Amino acid sequence: MMARLIRAHMLRVIEGDLYDLREFYELRAELDAAIQTAIERGRQLQPGAWSWTNIGDALGVSRQAAQQRWGVRVTRVIVHGAEPCHEGKRTEAV
């Protein structure tokens, strides 16, 4: 159903309603955020069911591709004796 609505809107844009192109751009950002949130919450609430393999299968990509795109990115930063742990949260040095 959503795909049909998107295609219909695309035709409207192509036929000359260029200002609606921005709506497509904004919709993409909304969909990306919704996918990210669904994956994060699913992994928190049902970690066994929401493995990277299952997510990749559901999305038609590899486990590695799913984890690289939607996994938590951790940047190693040391600030005054504190550094991030593996979940991206900071832990204080004792």
pLDDT at 9: 83
Q: What's the domain range around 63?
A: 2-92
Q: Per residue in 31-77, pLDDT tens?
A: 999 999 999 999 999 988 999 999 999 999 999 999 999 997 655 55
* Residue 87: C-alpha distances to residues 26, 51, 75 (Å): 29, 16, 10
Q: What is the pLDDT of residue 83?
A: 57
Model pTM score: 0.63
Q: Dump the DSSP string for 68-91.
A: HHHSPP-----BTTEEE-TTS-EE
Distance CA 48, CA 74 (A): 22
Shortest CA distance to 17 belongs to which of 27, 28, 9, 25?
9
What is the share, in percent, of the chain residues with pLDDT greater than 90?
43
How many domains in the chain? 1
Degrees to nearest 5, angle at CA 45 with 43 and 51:
30
Asked whether residue 92 carries a pLDDT value surpassing 50, the answer given is: no
Any idea which residue has 């992994």 for tokens?
43
- Percentage of the chain beyond pLDDT 70 is 77
By the 8 A CB rule, do 24 and 18 touch? no
